[in-house]
Amino acid sequence: MRMYRVLLSLVFVTALLMGPVYAGTTGVLSGRITNPKGNGIANAHISLRSGAEAFSVTTNANGFYSILGVRQSTYVLAIDAAGYNGGVLRNVTVNADQTSTLNLRLSNYFDDYVSGSRRSTMTAFQPSATTDQYTLDAVRIRTQLGH
């Protein structure tokens, strides 16, 4: 009986000492990509990079994604989805032995178009009346602003 207690104590102490040795070094990044109405966006491409570490996944039919085995670090996440404004998100942190959740809502590409018109001071009934129309998309606006 005494030998059993000694052996059990030895196993317990060994387990306590070895626990930190086997602590995980990777985490998980998961979440959902949705449209402005809150519906999942299927087949959105997500890439995660930090130095030599690089991961790439695609969302499922409901917009969910999960990246397993991500080393603890700070990453840059890029997202691209057909018909939506993608983008880059910096300082995405993943911690070891934890699941970090990152849900993103993307705007429709065509919702970012800006339309405007300018009318002349003359009335529309005069033959010389003119109308100038302008259509700018988000890319052109960002280009003009130097972004």
Task: List, as one string, the DSSP characters of 63-107.
Answer: SEEEEEEEESEEEEEEEE-TTB--EEEEEEEE-TT-EEE--EEPP
Residue 139 backbone phi and psi in degrees, to 5: -65, -45
Identify whether the C-beta of residue 76 lies closer than 8 Å to the C-beta of residue 50. yes
Question: 99 with 117, same domain?
Answer: no
Residue whose entry in the numeric block shows the structure tokens 């178009």: 113
pLDDT at residue 108, rounded to an integer: 84
Is pLDDT of 40 > 50? yes
Between 112 and 50, whose confidence is greater?
50
Question: 45 with 32, same domain?
Answer: yes
Question: 105 with 122, same domain?
Answer: no
73-80 and 87-94: which strand pairing? antiparallel
Average predicted confidence (pLDDT) for the chain:
77
Per-residue pLDDT tens digits for 70-93 = 999 999 999 999 999 888 999 999
Structural domain of residue 50, as residue ranges?
Answer: 24-109
Is pLDDT of 109 > 50? yes
| Local confidence band at 57 (pLDDT 50, 70, 90 cut-offs) | very high
Distance in angstroms (rounded) separating the CA atoms of residues 126 and 121: 11
- Written as six digits, the tokens of 34 are 């949705």
For CA atoms 48, 80, 36, 115, give the dihedral sign.
Answer: positive
Q: Is the pTM of this model over 0.75?
A: no
Question: 77 with 121, same domain?
Answer: no
